[in-house]
Each structure stands twice: as structure tokens, then as C-alpha cells.
Chain A
Amino acid sequence: MKRVKRRYLALQVDGEGVPSRKELLDAVWGAVTRLFGEYGASLTGLALIDYDMEGKTAVLRTSLATLNSVKASLATITSVAGNEAAVHVLAVSGTIKALHKKTPKQL
């Protein structure tokens, strides 16, 4: 079986309020599902690896094949947990280690 290539995205939640881990994940899944449907969402292999509530930063994992779809979906997020918000991508990397090197201050 072919190995699935993955990409890790460093995210910054911008907006009022501090969403919980579940609320952030719900917003991401909601955006992906609205844009690409349940089938499309199932191909992304999304997983929230890490979430720092204090800094409102997160690390999200997705498959390389659906990276563009996930980035587009993240850009369409306008609210998280009922509050106006935006989710910005700080960096994208193939490993968590390299992601931390790219964004040493934020993560």
C-alpha cells in the first residue's frame, strides 16, 4: 500500500474570544464539509495535532493531496464558536519538527 504523504499546517486563530479545541475543530470540519461535502472532507484526513489556547495557535495535519482544498476551506472560516474570527495559515511543512523551525515564536 502506498504511503500517504502528509502536511502539517501551523494556524493562528484571529478574533475575539478563545475557542476550545473542540470548537476550533468543529469550525474547520464545518468549513471543509460546506465547501467539499462529506466525501471531500473524508479524503482530507484532517487531525488537530496540537492547540495552544493561550496563543490561539494550532497544528493541523492533512494529506498532501488535499492540501489546497484544506487551505481554501480554512480561508472561508468567518466565525468560530459564534464569534467573528479568521483562521490564518502561518506555515506549512512536511514534518512537525520543520514546522516548529519555521514558526519558532508562534508555536
Chain B
Amino acid sequence: MPERGVAAVKRFFVDFHLRLNVKDAAGTVRMANKAAALGYRLVGVPLAAEVREDEVPRLREVCREAGLDFVSRVDLRPRSPSELGRLLRRLRRSFEVVCVLCESKVVARQAAKDRRVDLLSFPLLDFRRRFFDRAEAELACNGLSALEVDVKPLLVLEGAARVRLLSWLRREVAVAKKFGVPVVVSSGVAKEMLLRKPREMAALAFLFGLDEASGLDAVSQNAEVIVKRNREKLDAEFVAPGIRVFKEGKDC
């Protein structure tokens, strides 16, 4: 049945920040099954930069068995713009999604400018280091990065801390909307019981100013676009946007 005010299209729900303990095989399977049961079709799992070679195929297989598409993600925490550049040069082609945890203003600005960065994330409880303002949004809208919001703190915090967080998130989402920066809402949880259905995530996004359609986009379309774009770029046949190797060999 069509939803009120929302196009009745089958959505492809994404959780970009599922924190799996890769050493706990049983827990990984449980989390993947739970995410699939809740209606997700694609999950992003943050991995260490020096992840073992067999780890990614194993996780991909676990997710495939649960009926999920797996996206490898790396969370970078650079201390300076030059370190960010170094990390991006080294890791960009090894991971499908790159998120930068911006802990200083210079890093935040550089990450927003850099087209190799997919997601901008800010410290959740240190409000002085949340640098997503108009200048940051302007840089991000010219780049390709999206603002990532984890819902975990909204579930675990109470009282004044949650009030402040909601207030900041509302401000940042309003700025993102104004400058056309996509917002991606992720879970950021490591426990099954804190996982929520995609529509419940959209309901939580209502608390920081995303209406129903935008909330659903934040858990589906906005993330899906990033994955599609990066998979195309990482494909061996990719040359440049719109240019692909169609055929190779002597008979060309």
C-alpha cells in the first residue's frame, strides 16, 4: 500500500555503520542475520586499515548467506590534512567507503573538499569539535561527501546530553539541507538489541529535522548512491566517469 506523501517505491535499505567484532564469528553471523531480518539489504562494516586479506571475503560470505550485500569501509582519524592525504592515497582503492572522523577544523575542511572522502563524521559528544557549519557544508556540496549521523547515542543517552546532541544535529542537518549535502543515517551499534528497522531509523531522524521522505532517503538512497559510485570507480574496467574499457586485445 502506498505511503502517504512518499513515493511507493521498493527501497533498498542500507546501514553503513554496523560495528561487527570480526574476531567473534558467531556474533558476526547473529548481527548479520538480525540486520537482514530487520529489512536491510546492504551493510557497511568499518574495518581496520590493516585488515587481514582473508577477513573481507569471510565477512562478505557471512553477509551473503544472511541475504545482505557487504560494503568494506574504513574510518580514518587523521591529525592533519597532510596525514589525511597520505591515508587516502594508501587506502582509497582498498575500501569501498571511506569515512573521515573530523577531530579538528583543518581536517574537517580538507575532508569536505577531497572528492575521495565519502562520509564526514564528527565526535558525537564533544560539541566543540563538531565542525559541520555553513563553510563546511559549502565545501562538502562541491565535493562528494555526505554527513553521517549515528543513531546509537540517541538510544543510549538520556537527559541533558541527548537534548544537546539533538539540538546540534538539528542545526547541522538544517545546514546540510540548505547546501544540498546528503545526510546518511547509520546505526553505529555493536549490539543486536540496539539495531532498529530502517523505518525506525527514519522515525529517529524526524527528531533532528528530517521529514519522512528525507529520513527514508537517509537510510537508503543517499547511501546507495555512494556505494554505486565507488564500486564503479573500483571496477577494473573504469577509466574515468563515463569512460570504461569495453574490449581489450589485438582485435580492437
Binding site for B on A (CB under 8 A): 14-15, 34-35, 68-69, 71-72, 74-76, 78, 84-86, 88-89, 102
Contact = CB atoms under 8 A, between A and B. Distances in A.
Given A14-B193, A86-B195, 17 more contacts: A34-B158, A35-B207, A68-B206, A68-B212, A71-B199, A71-B203, A72-B204, A72-B207, A74-B203, A75-B201, A75-B203, A76-B154, A78-B194, A84-B193, A85-B193, A88-B197, A102-B1
Interface residues of B, number: 20
A78 B193 contact: yes
Contacts of A89: 197, 199-200, 203
Contacts of A34: 158-159
13 contacts: A15-B193, A34-B159, A68-B203, A72-B203, A72-B204, A72-B206, A74-B203, A75-B196, A75-B204, A76-B204, A84-B193, A85-B193, A88-B196
B155 interface: yes
Q: Secondary structure at chain B's binding surface: helix, strand, loop or mixed?
A: helix
B252 interface: no
List the 7 closest pairs (A to B, CB-CB), nearest first: A71-B203, A75-B200, A72-B203, A84-B193, A68-B206, A75-B204, A72-B207
A64 to B, nearest CB: 10
Interface string B152-171: 00111011000000000000
Interface in B22-69: 38
Contacts of B196: 75, 86, 88
A69 B133 CA distance: 27
Interface of B: 1, 38, 154-156, 158-159, 193-197, 199-201, 203-204, 206-207, 212
